[in-house]
Every structure is written in C-alpha cells, then in structure tokens.
Chain A
Amino acid sequence: MSGHTALVPEQNNNNSNQENKTSNMRVSEKKCSWASYMTNSPTLIVMIGLPARGKTYMAKKLTRYLNWIGVPTKVFNLGVYRREAVQSYKSYDFFRHDNKEAMKIRKQCALVALEDVKAYVTEECGQIAVFDATNTTRERRDLILNFAKENAYKVFFVESVCDDPEVIAANILEVKASSPDYPERNREYVMDDFLKRIECYKVTYQPLDPDNYDQDLSFIKVINVGQRFLVNRVRDYIQSKIVYYLMNIHVQPRTIYLCRHGESDFNLAGKIGGDSGLSPRGKQFAQALKKFIAEQEIVDLKVWTSQLKRTIQTAEFLGVPYEQWKILNELDAGVCEEMTYEEIETQYPDEFALRDQEKYLYRYPGGESYQDLVQRLEAVIMELERQGSVLVISHQAVMRCLLAYFLDKSADELPYLKCPLHTIFKLTPVAYGCKVETITLNVEAVNTHRDKPSNNLPKSQTPVRMRRNSFTPLASSDTIKRTRNYSVGSRPLNPLGSLLFPEARDGADQ
C-alpha cells in the first residue's frame, strides 16, 4: 500500500506516457505492510529480567503481533540454545555464577544466538529480532549493544520486573513445570529447583538504571505485570507501537469467542459481500447462539458486531447490549460486490485468476485486500487485548484475520483458514499461546469456503501487479433501499431521544 518512486516524470504530457508511468508505479509498489515500511533499520528487542518474569511470554506475544501487522519478527530464545549445547539439565547448579565452565557455555550460546540474529536480518529479510534471555548484567547488555552497533541495528530493551511471589509461583507452575528441563519431576521439586535458579541470577542482577548508567538507552520497564511502566527515549515509530502494545496486554484469564453472522440470504444465493439479512437458518443459528452463550455463564461478556445487517441481526437475538464496529465490516470486494464466484470468473477472469495466485495481497478493484483488512483490524485487536471476555460476531475474511492473529498463522495461510458458518471458535489464553475449541451449533448452512486451487495457474509473463485502489466503486443498483447505519457519534446519550422526536433520521441505527 505504500511506495515511493524514484521515477523522474517526463516533461511530455501525452496520455500514453501517463499510463506507462501509472503502470510503472504499480510495479515499483512494495508489497509490504505500512508498519513494515515505517520500520527503517532492523531493531533488536532485548528482553531483561530474572527467570519467571514473563520474558518469553512477552517475547512470543509481541512477535506474534508484529508478524501479524506485517513486520517480519523472530524470537531467539537463549534457553533453546543452551539446551542444544548441554543435552541434559541436571540442576540449578549449572546456573551458579561461580560455575566457570557453565558460564563459558552460556556466553558461547549468546554469541551463537547473535550470529543467528545477524543471519535472520541479512539473509531472511527479518526486520525485528527478539533476543529472549535474562540479560541481567551490564556486561552482557554491553556485549549486545556492541554487536548492534557493529551491525547498525537499533536496540530496544524490554525489562520485566516483578516482586510479587504469587505471580512468580504461578508462572513457574504454568510454563516451567512443563519445560524440557524438568521432564518427569514432581511439582515440588520443580518449584524448589527453579527458585534456587532464580537466586543464582539475583546475585548479579543489575536492573536498568534510567537515571544514570542507562539514561541514553531506549527501553520500557514493565513493572508487576503491567501495573506500572517506565518508558525511556522511544526513538521511532516501531518502538512507539511496541510500547503501546505492551501497555495494553494483560494476563487476566478470559475467553474470546469468534463466530460469523448467521447464514444470510446472499450466502444462500452464493453472492459475496453486500448487506443482506439473515436467512431462516441464520435466524435459527442466532437462537442457538443465544442458548450457547447463556450456557457458557460468562461474567461481563462484551459483544461486538460489524455495521452490516447480518451481524447486527444475529446479535439482536442475544438480547444483550452489543457494540457495532464499522471496522469489523466484511472485506470490500469493490467491483465484485454482490456477485457470485461464477459471475466473477465470467466477467472478470483476470481478476479471478490473480486472486487465486496471491490471495493475501490481492486487492479487488475499488475494494480491499486481506492486507488492507489486517491494517483496519489492528484497532480491534488492540481493544481485544485490553478487554476481558468478548464475543465477536463478524464475517469470513474478518474472522480469518482475527484468528490468524490469535493462532499465529502466516499471511500465506490466513486467507485459507476454515471459518464455516454456524461455528464458534472459543479461544482461551494458555501458557505461551491460545487454546482453541471449535463448537458447531448444529444448524445447517451453506459452505462458503474456497480452497486454494491446486491446478497449475498460468504464470503471467510479468509479475503479479498489485492493483491499487484506482477504480471507482460502482454503486450497485439500489432497488431495495438499504437500512443506512446512522452514525450516532459521541453525542450525550439520550435514551428517550428518538421516541420523543418522530422525525428521527431515516434509517436510524438498527
């Protein structure tokens, strides 16, 4: 979506020249996301903190988020390297600071990991590397800073400080007990050994010092699981986004439910897009959804829908307050809105083929691509992170994007994730990821899924051109007047307002 061009425009103003320039602009357009484009130099995110402070949790979550918004990111976990080097872990003695041999091995592992970081950035086009280790001494951090300086990487530290013994114990039980270091050991042993391991680090721990030694470094200190933050010298766009993200995530248990609207009339007709209402089976689904939600017995469940009829009608059946997000609207298919796939294949065969070649980046003329959708949904993701339990009633493409975020699916997989009608995805955060349960509500519906075609697509002579939004959205003939979604905006809520004023706007909010 972004692109700067180094072409020098000709003084000649004739039309064909203009067309050539336009198509040249299309060729030079980068395929990367806005976030990726705005991230200039490679950045090394360096985690800091005693064991069991949530470093790996934050590292993995942050990496998942950055990859989802299109910034290639990878975690380099020093523990993994150590386990490679020292095949079998015996006890906390390995981590004693006076264990010279072990110290040598651990330093060696750090150097190997940094070499891998370099390879990731230079050979694999990575933009962000997350160096996940304790990094608790100035000596170690200086080593990393030198490495970064030699390679012209920016460095951003993320330190996790926590002195709440309950949090630490919970972390140990949740993720350390199942670590490869402790294969068949009882809980008590794990807890005991791990706490002693932590003590080994405490002896030499030098926290970041923003007042003196570390005043020129860029970093965020996360204190007591997000209760407090200290942010020092944020230097660019991506660091600002990272800080914002870390300040919005939390670890309270909660559940996220994702589902599509009930089957719609257009679904039955095989048409994509548009703004049709629920079919009779769709209404049945909405009823079943209501029952399901009641059975789940969730405290304080938020319900979000898009601003298209079919999700709103679905939510209406639930009989609970819900919030409408315009940005949850289905992917805009531009000129192909309200057509069936057969019609598209007949009327726009090139477009149809292009889309199958590169479904994530392909943008409908006058419409959107999955990549555009991800950018638009970022605000939803950020708010989902802030919230507790939420039910999001959305659409196929939208749900694929959201699911890809939670399940860490790549841009290649995203457009082919299976999100059938009348099925709920129940996501529960667990350890370093998300547990997902699919619940089919046993109400029949059409299948709207299209797999990636396996036939050999004719490779065009020239590379796939990512069409820019350069066609006018064609107005569909509006024979049936659509309910317009009136923007209520932020006026003070006046609950009886529209009942008192009969000349209320045409198509006031559904």
Chain B
Amino acid sequence: VAAAESISQEPVLQGIIMAACVFSLFIVACGPQLTNSPTVIVMVGLPARGKTYISKKLTRYLNWIGVPTKVFNVGEYRREAVKHYSSYDFFRPDNEEGMNVRKQCALAALRDVKLYLSEEGGQIAVFDATNTTRERRGMVLNFAKENGFKVFFIESVCNDPSVVATNVMEVKLSSPDYRDCNSTDAMEDFMKRINCYQASYQPLDPDNYDRDVSLIKVIDVGRRFLVNRVQDHIQSRIVYYLMNIHVQPRTIYLCRHGESEFNLKGKIGGDSGLSNRGKKFAIALNKFVEEQNLKDLKIWTSQLKRTIQTAEALKLPYEQWKALNEIDAGVCEEMTYEEIKEKHPEEFALRDQDKYYYRYPSGESYQDLVQRLEPVIMELERQENVLVICHQAVMRCLLAYFLDKSAAEMPYLKCPLHTVLKLTPVAYGCRVESICLNVEAVNTHRDQTEVSCALL
C-alpha cells in the first residue's frame, strides 16, 4: 500500500500499477528470461582436457550475468567416498569395486543436481566428470528427462601431448590425490589413469548416434568447434562465450582514474577533471606501465574526462568505451553522500539495504551495470594484455567477474584510488596483486552499514 501511495495519486493508475506489481513478478525485469527450464551442462572428455577449467570459468561467467549456476565435480565426491587415493589401479576398467564406487558417486552428484535445480533456485548445473561412455551419458539423459531438465553437452577433445602434459602439471600434480607423491611419480600415475579411460571412450557423434543431442565439441583448446542443435538463448550465449575464451598467458590491469576534483569535494558522478594528485597518479601510472615491459598492451578508458586524462599521460594509444562510464546516479548525480542523505533520505536508506539491486531514480543499479559491462568482459576474454582505466562501481563489477564475487559482495569490494590491481590467470582462477602507486588520495569507499529495521 505504501508503494502504491507514493507512486501516483491517480486511482486508476494505482490500480494498474498494483496489478502490474503482482503480474510483473512473473516477468524478469531486465530482459527476456534467459532460460525457462533448468539446464544440466554435461562435460565430456578424457582427464586433463580442461573440463574443470571450462566448468569453473563458465560457471563464474553465468553467475556474474545473473544465472544461478553451480558445478558438481564427481572427482570431489569420489575423494569423499574413498578417503585415500592409492594409484591409477582404482580407475582400471576391470576394477569392479572401483567402478561401483565411481557409479555411486555419479548418482550422488546427480541427486545434488536435482536438489539444486528443483529446490535451491539453481538454473544451471554443470556436471563435471569424464562422461566418456554412451552408457553414462544415457543415464544422465534419462535423469534429466525424468526431471524436466534440458541437457547441453560440452566435450573437450585434445590430442596434443604437450597441452595434456601442461594441464597435468598445472592442476593435477597439486591435486589432493597426489599430496604424498613427487612430481615424476604423479605424472606417471596420471598418464596411466588417462589410459584407463581411453579404451572405453566413445566421443560424441553428431553425425549419427548423438545427432539429436545439443552439444558443443571444443577441439584443440578452441581451434575448432562443432555445435549441434542449440536449443535456446542461454545455450547460444554459452557457445559464444566458449568461442571467445582462450588460454594464452596474459595480464589484465584494473585501476580507477586519478583522483578527480569531485572526489576531493566528496561528490559522486559528474564529469570533472583530475586534481593535482590525480595528475601525479597518471604520471606514476605511466612509469608503472613502462616497468611492466609488456608487449602489445591495450588501454581502455571510459568516455568521461577523468579516465581520458589519466590515459593521456601514458602516451600510448587508448580506446574509449562508453560502456565503461561510471554508474549513473540519476537524480543524485554530483551530490555528496551527506546531501543525498538530506535530500533523498529514503533513497539513501534503500540503497544501503540492497546495494546491488538498488537503482538510483532515473539512474542505474549495479545489476544494470553488469548488463552494460558484459560486452566489455567478452572482449577482455578475447584480448591479451589490457589495462582498463575506469571508475569505482565499474571496477567493482569487473573485479567481481574475475574473482568470482557474489552480487552481495560486489558493491563493497575495495577499489581505492591510485591502486592498480594486476590479474594473472592461474590454474582454475585468477591471481590478484594489488599495487599501490604511493600517491595520496581521498578514500571513496563506504562499507556496508548495519541494516536498519525501520523500513518504509
């Protein structure tokens, strides 16, 4: 009722809007529903083919764009069931007991998938296992059918021995399975483990056996793709994402513009230029970039003065993205937090209650920002070395993507002025180094406040 009163005085409109409130609960407000029925993504491939890498990265991306996704790694279930891994013998196809345990683990994982998708609000479950036999995949397909889930297969095929060896060294040697082993022994054992799967491996066959199944085959780390029967929007997005990621080593640098005149005054938004300290930072940034000695560094800024001025000091070509502009604070643009609290007290309170979803009147929310930044993320995935000079809220969104932070954490990530975050992909995630360039600046961070129970 309170909502209706503040909306409009006109009763008819009130009625419409109230009806719409109820009605719109069936509608996703920010675009079309990405997916209707829940989907099980089934990974397929021999060990050390990047299945877990793809699973985790894809899951991180899907969660970031707002599609609740979770990975179910059968290997983890197996480590729960069999506390101590002895050797590759466990994986021999003639090891009946081993086979039994492994099947039970798969079933346990599927039970959890069902819980996640039916009762815990999940939309996508990634079933991360080898799934190399038709029998196993048949079982998963039946499971999905019984529960009304869609299925999308992602198969990773790679026969390049150097790629396989690199994968083993990067992620397998440090696995809990090999904690008591030295590298040589671990490598040898793992190779024998792969062999155990090879004999019974039945790759997906889109020409015949699997022609009606939705799948993507990723061949030789993305050199080639085979895509069959994409059913809906989310599968199409997944395919596009997989086709844009790569595994070349590279570094991503994120930082904010130098301190601006408005920062000094405590005002948010706007389009002011750099303060004197901000200009100092730009020069320090120039020095820092030179020291990093990178080949082919791309530099991206927003289209607001303060990032452009910062980039100018680098004496390198840079590209301006409108999509990197700071969050639009609508009616609160160019006000200080004190002024906002005074002039729009209810807005101020609302924002602290739910900072991710809160949208400034005629402005944006963090959620809107994520949608606007998605093409930037997609392009960052395609690129190699990039320095992104942006703004506080924007940097929080980008950082949340790389560091897999949730919607609740995102608006409170610490992104201080005059600090560069250096991100390097490593194993299944991102290593992050924070480099403060030793130029003083104001602190623009507001921590999460105690949620007041006096709601409107």
For the complex, give the distance between the alpha carbons of A497 and B281 in Å: 49
Which residues of the other chain, A, contact B271 by a CB distance below 8 angstroms? 469-472
* Contact B25 A227, beta carbon cutoff 8 Å: no
* Contact A326 B30, beta carbon cutoff 8 Å: yes
Say whether, besides A481-B6, A488-B29, A469 and B20 are in contact (CB < 8 Å). no
* Contact A228 B30, beta carbon cutoff 8 Å: no
* Contact A506 B20, beta carbon cutoff 8 Å: no
Is A81 interfacial (CB 8 A cutoff)? no
Is B144 interfacial (CB 8 A cutoff)? no
For the complex, give the distance between the alpha carbons of A485 and B24 in Å: 11
Q: How near does chain B come to A272, taking the closest CB pair, in angstroms?
A: 15
Say whether, besides A3-B320, A487-B357, A509-B20, A323 and B33 are in contact (CB < 8 Å). yes
Chain A contact-residue range equals 35 or more
List residues of A (1-23) whose CB comes within 8 Å of B's CBs. Answer: 1-9, 13, 18, 21-22
* Contact B243 A234, beta carbon cutoff 8 Å: yes
Which residue from chain B places its CB closest to the CB of A219 in the assembled complex? B224
* Contact B28 A488, beta carbon cutoff 8 Å: yes
Identify which of A230, A248, A304, A473 gathers the most chain B CB atoms within 10 Å of its CB: A473
Say whether, besides A469-B303, A487-B29, A493-B26, A508 and B3 are in contact (CB < 8 Å). yes
For the complex, give the distance between the alpha carbons of A473 and B331 in Å: 9
Say whether, besides A324-B27, A472-B333, A510 and B233 are in contact (CB < 8 Å). no
Which residues of the other chain, A, contact B7 by a CB distance below 8 angstroms? 481, 483, 507
Which residue from chain B places its CB closest to the CB of A490 in the assembled complex? B66
- Count of chain B residues with Cβ under 8 Å from any Cβ of A? 88
Using a Cβ cutoff of 8 Å, how many contacts connect chains A and B? 232
* Contact A503 B333, beta carbon cutoff 8 Å: no
Is B136 interfacial (CB 8 A cutoff)? no
Q: How near does chain B come to A32, taking the closest CB pair, in angstroms?
A: 12
Candidates B24, B236, B382; contact of A509 at CB < 8 Å: B24
List residues of A (461-486) whose CB comes within 8 Å of B's CBs. Answer: 468-476, 478, 481-486
* Contact A323 B31, beta carbon cutoff 8 Å: yes
* Contact B28 A470, beta carbon cutoff 8 Å: no
* Contact A8 B331, beta carbon cutoff 8 Å: no
Identify which of B31, B33, B206, B359 gathers the most chain A CB atoms within 10 Å of its CB: B31
For the complex, give the distance between the alpha carbons of A59 and B412 in Å: 48
Is B184 interfacial (CB 8 A cutoff)? no
Which residues of the other chain, A, contact B26 by a CB distance below 8 angstroms? 321, 493, 495
Which residues of the other chain, B, contact A240 by a CB distance below 8 angstroms? 240, 243-244, 382
Binary CB contact string for chain B from 258 to 291 against chain A (1 if under 8 A, 0 otherwise): 0000000000011101000001000000000000
Is A502 interfacial (CB 8 A cutoff)? yes
Q: How near does chain A come to B297, taking the closest CB pair, in angstroms?
A: 13
For the complex, give the distance between the alpha carbons of A344 and B52 in Å: 58
Candidates B68, B305, B328, B350; contact of A473 at CB < 8 Å: B328
* Contact A9 B313, beta carbon cutoff 8 Å: yes
* Contact A247 B325, beta carbon cutoff 8 Å: no
Which residues of the other chain, B, contact A428 by a CB distance below 8 angstroms? none
* Contact A510 B226, beta carbon cutoff 8 Å: no
Which residue from chain A places its CB closest to the CB of B276 in the assembled complex? A13
Candidates B6, B229, B322, B328; contact of A507 at CB < 8 Å: B6
* Contact A486 B29, beta carbon cutoff 8 Å: yes
* Contact B382 A482, beta carbon cutoff 8 Å: no
* Contact B20 A229, beta carbon cutoff 8 Å: no
* Contact A386 B27, beta carbon cutoff 8 Å: no
Is B93 interfacial (CB 8 A cutoff)? no
Binary CB contact string for chain B from 6 to 20 against chain A (1 if under 8 A, 0 otherwise): 111000010011011
Which residues of the other chain, A, contact B33 by a CB distance below 8 angstroms? 323
Q: How near does chain A come to B117, taking the closest CB pair, in angstroms?
A: 11
* Contact A507 B319, beta carbon cutoff 8 Å: no
For the complex, give the distance between the alpha carbons of A503 and B346 in Å: 13
* Contact A489 B317, beta carbon cutoff 8 Å: no
For the complex, give the distance between the alpha carbons of A38 and B378 in Å: 13
Q: Which segment, of B162-170, B364-372, B415-423, faces chain A? A: B364-372
Is B58 interfacial (CB 8 A cutoff)? no
Which residues of the other chain, A, contact B382 by a CB distance below 8 angstroms? 237, 240
List residues of B (291-331) whose CB comes within 8 Å of A's CBs. Answer: 303-305, 308-309, 312-313, 315, 317-322, 325, 328, 330-331
Which residues of the other chain, A, contact B67 by a CB distance below 8 angstroms? 490
List 16 contacting pairs A-B, 8 Å CB cutoff, sorted by A: A21-B312, A230-B225, A237-B382, A240-B243, A240-B244, A247-B227, A304-B32, A472-B333, A484-B361, A487-B368, A488-B28, A488-B30, A489-B30, A503-B455, A508-B3, A509-B24
